[in-house]
């Protein structure tokens, strides 16, 4: 029994939850921006980077993995458009989980060669990567939660959640590109 006397001119269809995630992405972008800025700042101050005794980063495997993460945004996007999102979400989750598992392995392998306690180079390398992997881990948990919710059917709320979480993943993918290129930069930009 409500009256809607004002003409509705809905020109934007991003739900409030999407805007909440947009605010999160804004802060996290600034966060990574400051960490990348710190990396550049300390690199400029160092005569040799990485310092002697610490190996240059390898390029091939990290860049392939980056490609996998970027590819995983496609099924995420497809899920937001699809009437049957669960399969696309599952595909994305498999790619993302595979990426994450490999990255954890690489992180562990790197620690056998140099540690964050040796030099600021290592401190920044492991902090930047650790922060990025942390954001991927949160994304994985979000996807698992969403899958569990979708097992009980689709509602408008769950559709909005799907769009919001997909947006989160696009942002994580972009941030991961920036972080990866930063930590790999000694290998291609001397």
Partner 1 sequence: MSIRRLSQLQWFGLLVGGLTWFAEYLAGTGASQARCNPGSGPWGIPHDALQLALMLFGVLVVGSALVASALVFKRTYDVEEQAAPPLGRIHFFAAAATAANLVFLIIILESGIGTIVNQLCHQA
Partner 2 sequence: MTTTVTERVDLLERQWAERPGVLGWLTTTDHKRIGLLYFWATLVFFGAGGVEALLMRTQLAQANQHIVGPETFDQLFTVHGMTMIFWFIIPMTTGAFGNYLVPIMVGARDMAFPRMNALSFWIFAGSGILLYAGMAAGAGPDAGWFNYVPLSARLFDPGRNIEIYTLSLALNGMASTLTSANLIVTIFKLRAPGMSFNRMPLFCWAFLAASLGLIFALPSLTVDLLFLYLQRNLGFHFFDVAHGGSSFLWQHLFWFFGHPEVYILIVPAFGIATEIIPAFTRRKMLAFPLIAIAEILVVFIGFGVWAHHMFATGLPSTTLVFFAAATSMVVIPSTIQVFAWSMSILTGRPRFTTPLLFIVGFIVMFVVGGLTGVMFLAIPFDQQVTDTYFVIAHFHYIIFGAAVFPIFGGMYYWFPKVTGKLYFERPGQISFWILFVGTNLLFFPMHIVGLLGMPRRVYTYPGNVGWTSYNLLETVGGYITAIGILFLFANLVVSYLRGAPAGPDPWHGPTLEWTIPSPPPEYNFATIPTVTSAYPNWDGDAPVSIALDAGHKQHVSTISDGWTAEIVDMPHASPWPILLAATLTICFALLVVAKFMVAAIVLVVVGLTLVGWHMKEPQES
Residues in contact with partner 2 by CB under 8 A are 1-13, 16, 19-20, 23-24, 26-28, 30-31, 33-35, 38, 41-42, 45-46, 51, 116-124, 127, 141, 145, 155-158
State in Å, rounded, how far the first CA of the chain is from the last one: 69
CA atoms within 13 A on the CB side of 149: 17
Contact 68, 99 (CB under 8 A): yes
Beta carbon of residue 94, minimum distance to partner 1 (angstroms, whole number): 38
Tell me how long the chain is.
190
Check binding of 108 to partner 1 (CB under 8 A): no
Q: Which of residues 118-157 bind partner 1 (CB under 8 A)?
A: none
The tokens for 126 are 């492991």
Q: Which of residues 37-56 bind partner 1 (CB under 8 A)?
A: 40-41, 43-47, 49
Beta carbon of residue 134, minimum distance to partner 2 (angstroms, whole number): 11
Residue located via tokens 């569990």: 148
Residue 40 near which of partner 2, partner 1, none (CB within 5-8 Å, type-dependent): partner 1
Contact 122, 116 (CB under 8 A): yes
Residues of this chain that interact with partner 1 (CB under 8 A) are 40-41, 43-47, 49, 190
């Amino acid at each position: 029994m409500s009256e809607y006397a004002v003409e509705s001119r809905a020109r934007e269809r991003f739900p409030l939850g999407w805007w909440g995630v947009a605010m999160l992405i804004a802060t996290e972008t600034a966060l990574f921006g400051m960490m990348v800025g710190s990396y550049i700042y300390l690199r400029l101050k160092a005569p040799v980077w990485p310092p002697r005794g610490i190996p240059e980063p390898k390029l091939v495997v990290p860049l392939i993995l980056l490609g996998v993460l970027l590819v995983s945004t496609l099924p995420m996007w497809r899920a937001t458009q699809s009437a049957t999102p669960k399969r696309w979400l599952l595909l994305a989750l498999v790619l993302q989980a595979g990426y994450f598992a490999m990255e954890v392995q690489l992180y562990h392998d790197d620690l056998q060669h140099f540690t964050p306690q040796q030099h600021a180079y290592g401190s920044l390398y492991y902090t930047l990567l650790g922060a990025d992997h942390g954001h991927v881990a949160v994304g994985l948990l979000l996807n698992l939660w969403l899958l569990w919710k979708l097992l009980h059917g689709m509602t408008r709320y769950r559709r909005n959640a799907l769009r919001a979480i997909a947006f989160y993943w696009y942002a994580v993918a972009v941030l991961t590109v920036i972080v990866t290129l930063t930590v790999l930069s000694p290998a291609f930009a001397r």
